[in-house]
Amino acid sequence: MGFPRPYELVTGVIDDRNAIGSSLFGGGLVSRHEVSSEFEKEKNKGSVRYVDDIKVTERCPECGSTDLIRSYERGELTCRNCGLVIDEKIIDQGPEWRAFTPEEKEKRGRVGPPLSPIVVEGVSSTVIQWPGRDAAGHRLSPKKAFEVSRWRRWQIRSRIQTSQDRNIQQAAGHLERIAFRINLPPNVKEEALKIYRAAVRAGLVRGRSIESVMAASIYAACRILKVPRTLDEIADYTKAGRKDVARCYRLLLRHVRLNIPIADPVDFVPRIVSALGLSGVLQRKALEIIQQARRAGLTAGKDPAGLAAAAIYIASLQTGERKTQKEIARAAQVTEVTVRNRYKELIRKLKIPITS
């Protein structure tokens, strides 16, 4: 007695009710009424799903289990219940390339959201040039030049050329530059451009620096998405400076509906620890100190980056991974005075013993 061919039982594709009758009644001749009734019983089973009377549930031909494992790396379909290799030539529906790092995967991927926030907002920078020559430099015939001229005319008419869109294009350039400098993820860039568009619609950009409003939008996006970046860090890459960016940020808070969460010092700790090359033990110790400070009510109204820097400094003294206040302040983008004041407050209020 030979084994049934795998595709007959695995894929379970049945488009003939006589085939169902044969499998249910041992291959004997049955009436159409019996086949239809048994078909309906089989169709109503919870483990079986039909689409237009076609069975799509896969079963193991050995034990009948539907608990199957697909391994696209080995090209195998295996039953988890009895271990039978049902099929060893399944098709991998993933990409044909391999990637070993997230960066390499992102670079090789050909699907997903647009990479540029300008594309997200639908503002294209592609313009059909004045007709005269083709891509190879050959002169166009009069008929072809006239046709390309028509294309250019309609492209200009269909392309958005309002002052608002030119403003947003210019702001997107500042966004890309600042985001590259401070290493922002794509979701923050999209959120920042969304906030900037709201500011443009509210008339907040008129008479103000596009760069400053864009920097304020970036800071607001970082706050909303809990990406630890300080206002000073963002303002360092603007011509106007911190004061003007802070003024624009307060303007956004007043006139644009933004749900800004309270900045958490915990979000700044991993970034500072990574910049200083410190251990995970020190990071956990610093997080414990911040939690103690929160329970004692010492975090309200304090700069989260400065508080995180002070907690890391205390943890460095306790674990023996000593770093100076100057090094920690530079990594946290705060002043040494801020680190020193928060350090003194924490050890005094929390009664933390420090051994010199």
pLDDT of residue 13: 37
C-beta of residue 320 within 8 angstroms of C-beta of residue 326: no
Q: What is the pLDDT of residues 27-53, one digit of tens each?
A: 444 444 444 444 444 443 333 434 444
Please tell me the distance from the alpha carbon of residue 60 to that of residue 81, in angstroms, as a whole number.
9
Number of helices and strands in the chain (H, E): 16, 5
Contacts of 327-330 with CB under 8 Å at 24 or more apart are: 327/276, 328/272, 328/276
pLDDT of residue 219: 94
pLDDT of residue 32: 41
Same fold, 163-255 and 265-349: yes
Mean pLDDT of 343-355: 87
Query: At which residue do the structure tokens 């699907």 appear?
Result: 111
Domain 163-255 fold: Cyclin A; domain 1 (1.10.472)
Token digits for 90? 């399944």
Please tell me the distance from the alpha carbon of residue 17 to that of residue 158, in angstroms, as a whole number.
56
Q: What is the pLDDT of residues 147-201, one digit of tens each?
A: 888 887 776 666 656 778 778 888 988 999 999 999 899 999 999 999 999 999 9
C-beta of residue 123 within 8 angstroms of C-beta of residue 169: yes
- SS (HEC) of 37-103: HHHHHHHCCCCCCEECCEECCCCCCCCCCCCEEEECCCCEEEECCCCCEEECCCCCCCCCCCCCCHH
The percent of residues in the chain predicted with pLDDT above 90, rounded, is 32
Nearest to 208 by CA among 165, 252, 177: 252
Cα-to-chain-centroid distance, residue 159: 29
C-beta of residue 250 within 8 angstroms of C-beta of residue 212: no
Class of domain 265-349: mainly alpha
Per-domain residue ranges of the chain: 163-255, 265-349
Q: What is the pLDDT of residues 282-335, one digit of tens each?
A: 999 999 999 999 998 888 888 899 999 999 999 999 888 889 999 999 998 889
Instruction: Dump the DSSP string for 290-326.
Output: HHHHHHTT-STTS-HHHHHHHHHHHHHHHHS----HH
Looking at the predicted structure, is the pLDDT value of residue 246 above 60? yes
- Would you place residue 16 in the very low, low, confident or very high pLDDT band (cuts 50, 70, 90)? very low
Q: In which element (H, E) is residue 242 found?
A: helix 242-255
Mean pLDDT of 105-113: 68
Mean pLDDT of all residues belonging to the chain: 77
pLDDT of residue 120: 44
Instruction: Dump the DSSP string for 149-180.
Output: HHHHHHHHHHS---HHHHHHHHHHHHHHHHHH
Token digits for 10? 């695995």
Please tell me the distance from the alpha carbon of residue 240 to that of residue 100, in angstroms, as a whole number.
42
